[in-house]
Structure 1
Amino acid sequence: MSSNLPASGPQLAGSTTTAGRGKRPRPPFGVSTVSLLAVLTALFSLVPLGYVVYMTVATGWDTAVGLIFRPRVGELLMNTILLTVITVPACLILGVGGAWLVERTKLRGHRWWAVALAAPLAIPAFVNSYSWVSAVPSLEGIWSGVLIATLSYFPLVYIPAAATLGRLDPAIEQSAASLGLGPWAVFFRVVLPQLRIAMSGGALLVALHLLAEYGAFAMIRFDTFTTAIMVQFQSTFNGTAGNMLASVLVFLCLILLVLEVRSRGNARYARIGSGAQAKAIRLPLGAYQVPAQLGLLALTVLAFGVPVWFVLRWVVAGGSEVWAADEFLPALLQTLVYGAVGALVTTIVAFPMAYLAVRRPSWFSKMLELSNYVTSSLPGIVVGLAFVTVSIRAVPGIYQTAGVLIAAYVLLFLPRALVNIRSGLAQAPKELDEAAQSLGKAPLVAFFRVTLRLSAPAAAGGAALVFLAIVNELTATLLLSPNGTKTLATEFWSKSSEIDYTGAAPYALLMIVLSAPMTYLLFQQSKKVAGQ
């Protein structure tokens, strides 16, 4: 869960300087080779955007205008706007409020609550929707979409907000309090402004997930651009109307990216100076202790307890028959294989670009990185449609092959590996690489023996996050998977679409079991980055 955006990187650039002393270590394959690999990756990542632009131009101006400016698109746009303007603030309130209670108050059991509030991220949104439909079969429409989306995505705000609060030096808050400001005034005037980056990044992730989500909204019959595109694709393969909906969806994604960049502002939030950071003084909750406990309990039950309860309930109702090995074992094995191969390939592809970003920082390397972040923000259905069109028209022989599906996974989840590898390379001093090369080791040998070994833990963390994303990916897998392919997500969707809720339950449970340790890893990584 999911995040797909670049972390702030001044420390990365700073970690590659040596105050003018020594030479830069020679890249393992030479500067030109590493640059070429990074450029090829960047060009490859622009395939979905190129597809959208090409299809819009090929459609013709008059036809495109007619298809875009019609009542159906207006209805989908209104649904999207309402869903976003209600869900994003709700996630911000729950995420920031939960983070403040856990990190800044004398909340009893705060260590347990810290993990509990991140736990809902282990449940895919379409499994959450399946559980809530099981509880309330009449769920449909905008408010049902807001309920499910909020409960599924508020951890995307909570995790970075909690990590940021853990990193903030409380001396500023203590100074404000000494000037006579009360706890609420300190929170709104001192703490909240310092959470701007975490809040804007989390809000962007929530909004992008809202644009990309298919299964959760299709199950409650709430129409969005993604559900409409899928219906168009199923009724008219690669139809013009579906392509124009995709172009509007991409335009909305790009608007969100621009708004997030502008919302960050230019203020600095880093602490400068020597000395140890003061320990935060937790505020007493007093009479609010019980309401806080009850509120967090209610949120955890709704976001995590209800989905798990109904999944287990359907598993028990299905009996031993739903665990027939010939039914679920192929889906589990194929999910593990696709997840492992996709994670490995994505990690390997990310290395050249991460190496340039850390060892050879420049405007060129930043532009290469940016291309990947833009593409990864696009919904899976757009990436899937792009690969369908390109593979059929350019290389028909590769359509619906495992290679095309893995390539789509690489584009969708490359930043998850890239950010982690970049962090690992930044923590591997290049002076060690220089020393190995000065002792006669070839650049490639020095890279494998020094740099790769030091950055391996970070790369493994990135690979784990990619694996988690692949396990829960639905739309691109539905569009691109070879005939006969069974994954946990697609089999769950197939059976739940047929109202076979007992048959779908084992697949939902296995996805949760596979996602739980990866979600915990994401939570721990965020705390580590925060210096805790």
Structure 2
Amino acid sequence: MYGYGWLLWAAGLVVGAILLLPVAYLLIRSLEAGPAGWENLVQGRTLLTLARTLGLALAVTGASLVIAVPLAWLTVRTDVPLRRLWSILTPLPLVMPSYVGAYLMVSALGPRGLVQQLLEGPLGIQRLPPIYGFPGALITLTFLSYPYLLLSARATLLRLDPALEEAARNLGDSAWRVFWRVTLPLMRPGLGAGSLLVALYALRDFGAVAIMRYDTFTRVIYVQYRSFDRSQAALLALLLVAVTLVLVLLEFRIQRRAAYYQGVSGTARPPSLVHLGRWRWPAFLFCAGVTFFALVLPALVLVYWLVRGLLAGETVNDLGLATWNSLLASGLAALVTTLAALPVAILVVRRPGRLSQLLERLTYSAFALPGIVIALALVFFGANHAPWLYQTLPMLLLAYCILFIPQAVGSLRASLLQIHPSIEEAARSLGRGPLSVFATVTLPLLRPGLLAGMSLVFLTAMKELPATLLLAPIGFKTLAIAVWSSVSEAFFAAAAAPALFIVLASSLPMALNILREERDD
């Protein structure tokens, strides 16, 4: 496929043009702002809010690394009990909408939450410490975003040739020393891509920080949009895009000097599992603890609100059509977005240069923007230039592609970095054409990254709300819209049902993906 360079560049430039739509909209709106709007960008209040946002993003990324790296290593490389079960359960918190996750966290761990009610009788605890502010936002966003890192790290580990690790062990290194000196450095492309996604998720989130009463940059943008001062909101959004580009540049500079090829043989034989010995059960408790607080506890709170509401007489609407619409839109989004990300990832890895670097940075620029900014940009584009596309399923898929393409690009790039170019060159030297080499050599080796990218896009598209509300076809109700409608009207039982459906509907493809990875491994 690399022989068709013009085709790759044409596809990449089309993707880049689509990704420029939100930036073009912001530039048009920002030109309408007066001098006072530009002066607001350098006011102390704006800079303080930006510092708080960056601090939260850095803290969430660090906490996610602490959780995701051990989980990935334990579920891929060790004999931890119930290893396959943890492989399936630990990524699932990604499907929880942030506004629902934050509300459930407050309901369970708030000063007068469910945990306090359980402890009041036997221990006499009248009130738990407040969870609002930075601690609550940090905990909630960490539990909701660490799966970005986990899935990228797992995909990287599954592609690593275990020969280097086995050689280190044969030279007398312990399992712990092998992990720090050999495995962790080779995981760097996946960790870099996953960390960038976590940081951008924390930058753009609104639901969790709003419920936790922690002011961040996205809240200021939402307030400006609600006050119809869209020129000022556009300026603030452009500042967020600039911060995103800085983060992407830093991540690129950190990784650009390293090579991550798995080896010239191209084999992906399964490694021998590390025997944890006396650490098996502490590792088991770690996996179980993360699963309980990130997945089981929120699910139990959802079930509690569902049962409590039904007993109080609340009704739950039929969710069959909403479930089908969510699965259809999310499945198509995963396919379209991954296909759009493929030429970008190939150009970044196999054709490095200024243009390919710019293309990669463009893919990440939209991910840091709140969904409402992307949606309004496409509303502006559809109303003025493509009225036939407005409020159609293709327009919604276009929004999902712009929002979530960094997830697919990150996973694909990490996998491509581990495929040595000499493997493809050897196949071409044997007479294979470029397309044949790509289909028979590159694509099979790229499969873990493809599946990880599609899973990330599917799971996040299932819970996307602002873009779905503004761009979905008339009458196209999804589970995310059902959750939002019920929560806004304080019908918590009606909200709990579609939220549970989101988790259940997303669990099946995630489980199938993990099982396929385990079988291939």
**Same fold judged by TM-score > 0.5?**
yes
CA distance in 1 between partners of 2:221 and 2:26 (Å): 13
Alpha carbons of structure 1 residues 526 and 81: separation in structure 2 relative to 1, 3 Å:
farther
Q: CA deviation at 1:245?
A: 1.9
CA contact (8 A) 1:384 1:480 kept: yes
Q: CA deviation at 1:473?
A: 0.8
Q: Which residue of 2 aligns with 1:373?
A: 363
Query: Which amino acid in structure 1 is aligned with residue 363 of structure 2?
Result: Y
Q: Which residue of 2 aligns with 1:21?
A: none
2:99 matches 1:126 = yes
2:225 matches 1:233 = yes
Q: Which residue of 2 aligns with 1:285?
A: 277
Q: Which residue of 2 aligns with 1:505?
A: 496
Alpha carbons of structure 1 residues 337 and 294: separation in structure 2 relative to 1, 3 Å:
closer
Deviations 1:75-124 (A, max 9, x none): 32132122122211111111111223333444223233232322323333
2:134 matches 1:142 = yes
CA distance in 2 between partners of 1:300 and 1:227 (Å): 30
Q: Which residue of 1 aligns with 2:201?
A: 209
Q: Which residue of 2 aligns with 1:305?
A: 296
Q: Which residue of 2 aligns with 1:100?
A: 73
Q: CA deviation at 1:73?
A: 1.7
CA distance in 2 between partners of 1:280 and 1:232 (Å): 55
Deviations 1:296-315 (A, max 9, x none): 21111001101111112222
TM-score by length of 1: 0.75
CA distance in 1 between partners of 2:177 and 2:450 (Å): 42
Root-mean-square deviation (Å): 4.5
CA contact (8 A) 2:92 2:507 kept: yes
2:182 matches 1:190 = yes
Aligned residue among 53, 74, 90 for 1:80: 53
CA contact (8 A) 1:159 1:523 kept: no
CA contact (8 A) 2:248 2:361 kept: no
CA contact (8 A) 2:33 2:232 kept: no
Q: Which residue of 2 aligns with 1:162?
A: 154
Q: Which residue of 2 aligns with 1:8?
A: none
CA distance in 2 between partners of 1:278 and 1:344 (Å): 28
Alpha carbons of structure 1 residues 364 and 202: separation in structure 2 relative to 1, 3 Å:
closer
CA distance in 1 between partners of 2:454 and 2:177 (Å): 42
CA distance in 1 between partners of 2:159 and 2:470 (Å): 42
CA distance in 1 between partners of 2:177 and 2:280 (Å): 20
CA distance in 1 between partners of 2:189 and 2:411 (Å): 19
Matched residue SS, 2:315: helix
Alpha carbons of structure 1 residues 357 and 365: separation in structure 2 relative to 1, 3 Å:
farther
Q: CA deviation at 1:252?
A: 1.6
Q: Which residue of 1 aligns with 2:116?
A: none
CA contact (8 A) 1:464 1:518 kept: yes
CA contact (8 A) 2:78 2:276 kept: yes
Q: CA deviation at 1:406?
A: 3.6
Q: Which residue of 1 aligns with 2:82?
A: 109
Query: Which amino acid in structure 2 is aligned with residue 83 of structure 1?
Result: L
Q: Which moved more, 1:159-168 or 1:68-77?
A: 159-168
Give the number of equivalent residue pairs.
488
Q: CA deviation at 1:254?
A: 1.1
Query: Which amino acid in structure 1 is aligned with residue 360 of structure 2?
Result: L
Alpha carbons of structure 1 residues 357 and 192: separation in structure 2 relative to 1, 3 Å:
closer
TM-score by length of 2: 0.77
CA distance in 1 between partners of 2:308 and 2:506 (Å): 23
Matched residue SS, 2:263: coil
2:315 matches 1:322 = yes
Alignment of 1:52-67 (within 5 A): 52-60=26-34, 62-67=35-40
Alpha carbons of structure 1 residues 129 and 168: separation in structure 2 relative to 1, 3 Å:
same
Alpha carbons of structure 1 residues 338 and 292: separation in structure 2 relative to 1, 3 Å:
closer
CA contact (8 A) 1:375 1:411 kept: no
Q: Which residue of 2 aligns with 1:5?
A: none
Alpha carbons of structure 1 residues 527 and 237: separation in structure 2 relative to 1, 3 Å:
farther
Aligned residue among 246, 250, 257 for 1:255: 246
Alpha carbons of structure 1 residues 407 and 520: separation in structure 2 relative to 1, 3 Å:
same
Q: Which residue of 2 aligns with 1:11?
A: none
Alpha carbons of structure 1 residues 492 and 296: separation in structure 2 relative to 1, 3 Å:
same
CA distance in 1 between partners of 2:294 and 2:135 (Å): 16
Identity %: 31
Query: Which amino acid in structure 1 is aligned with residue 150 of structure 2?
Result: Y
Deviations 1:379-405 (A, max 9, x none): 323322322444456567876665543
Query: Which amino acid in structure 2 is aligned with residue 377 of structure 1?
Result: F
Q: CA deviation at 1:198?
A: 2.0
Q: Which residue of 2 aligns with 1:4?
A: none
CA distance in 2 between partners of 1:355 and 1:515 (Å): 26
Alpha carbons of structure 1 residues 217 and 362: separation in structure 2 relative to 1, 3 Å:
closer
Query: Which amino acid in structure 2 is aligned with residue 322 of structure 1?
Result: T
2:461 matches 1:487 = no
Query: Which amino acid in structure 2 is aligned with residue 510 of structure 1?
Result: F
Q: CA deviation at 1:144?
A: 0.4
Query: Which amino acid in structure 2 is aligned with residue 374 of structure 1?
Result: Y
Alpha carbons of structure 1 residues 376 and 249: separation in structure 2 relative to 1, 3 Å:
closer
